[in-house]
Amino acid sequence: MFQSSQEETFLVHIPTSKRRKVIPQPHSQMSGRLESLLDAADSHCHLDRCFAAPGAIGDTLSAIENSVTQPGSEYGPIRFFNLRAVISNFCDPKRWHLFENIINEDNRIYGTIGYHPKYLKNSFVMSSERMRMMQCLDNKYCLGFGEIGLDHYHGPDNQSIRLQVSNLYDLLDIYSKSGSNKALVLHFRGDADSGVYHKGLEIIKECGVQNKRIHVHCFSGSRNDVMEWCRACPSAVFGFTGIITKTTQYDSIIEYIPSNRIVAETDSPMLSPYNCKSPNHPFNVVQVLDKIAHIKKMKRSELYSKVLRNTNETYRIWREPRE
């Protein structure tokens, strides 16, 4: 049995106040931008950490936007680009209490709720944790469950891997029993010989969630992995981060994956793109999109539109008007 103090750790009072509305400036008032902007979304970041990161250039999304769009800013004005949506992932139980406050801060912010493998301590998910995750998942601005998965980088030993596998089954059971039709956000990481994507896919199929809308976050697998996942998961998309701007290592796999299976993400404040002088932030998704357009030899407008459509189809961001 768990003590009541443990059971209450993750439950928070949800404020009844209305969601704060943030009205973006008219294009004509945005210095350094053109009238015709390309729309985009950051499909995966961690605003709970972005706003608190050492050296952060803002503690709200609007503050970060103001910093990066100023003429003469050392970060360079973000041109041709209108950030329509930011999907902030909450995967650290110690930060779940920030969920409602952050997604209510700006009407472009949405959330997902999950449990990163590196934070796992028990061979199962505690009941208080289950309750808190379901509380967040029920929020209409929560668009997905995850990130969850397997991480051989943070847990290369056999005992840690067994712990992660056990918890992945448990978390997928929570997701399945919730009856949620929201997206499933997956994290898999390991070296080329680890077979982590194959193992992850076997678990996904065994748990019967392969037909869900799936975002394979920060993809670093092979062509073989892509083929397996595309065959088994008809609605899976593969996310790429700022890492792709620092190396050509991902060029061939991005070229191989169909453009309707790709989404762009920053994973900020981690995984900064090339020449980023501050902690990474959602507006840097423009660099990821530009690199993908270059690799796939697509017009920027075509690529931006395609990836935004993929993101919306995966997360159903604009199914209903925002309050």
DSSP string, 86-119: EEEEE--GGGGGGHHHHHTS-TTEEEEE---GGG
Q: How far apart are CA 33 and CA 41, in angstroms?
A: 17
Over pLDDT 70: what percentage of the chain?
83
Non-local CB neighbours of 283 within 8 Å, separated by 6+ positions: 42, 64, 65, 68, 78, 81, 83
Q: Does residue 297 form part of some domain?
A: yes
Q: Does residue 59 form part of some domain?
A: yes
Quick check: 27 pLDDT over 50? no
CATH number, residue 69: 3.20.20.140
Handedness of CA 171, 176, 181, 184 (dihedral sign): positive
Task: Look at 210 and 123; give whichever has higher pLDDT.
Answer: 210
Quick check: 277 pLDDT over 80? no
H or E segment to which residue 39 belongs: strand 38-45
Q: Does residue 12 form part of some domain?
A: no
Q: Does residue 29 form part of some domain?
A: no
**What would the pLDDT profile of 166-188 be if each residue is shown by its tens digit?**
999 999 999 999 999 999 999 99
Count of domains forming the chain? 1
Q: Does residue 152 form part of some domain?
A: yes
**Phi, psi for 82 (deg, rounded to 5):** -125, 110
Task: Look at 304 and 58; give whichever has higher pLDDT.
Answer: 304
Quick check: 302 pLDDT over 80? yes
pLDDT band at 23 (very low <50, low <70, confident <90, very high): very low
Q: Does residue 15 form part of some domain?
A: no
Q: Does residue 22 form part of some domain?
A: no
Q: What's the pLDDT score for residue 57?
A: 85
* Range name among 21-35, 199-213, 218-232, 275-289 with the lowest pLDDT average: 21-35
Name the residue range of residue 122's domain: 37-315
Q: How far apart are CA 312 and CA 144, in angstroms?
A: 12
Quick check: 8 pLDDT over 60? no
Mean confidence (pLDDT) of the chain: 86
Q: What's the pLDDT score for residue 56?
A: 86
* Eight-class DSSP state of 234: T
**What would the pLDDT profile of 36-51 be if each residue is shown by its tens digit?**
689 999 999 999 999 9
Quick check: 21 pLDDT over 70? no
Q: Does residue 136 form part of some domain?
A: yes
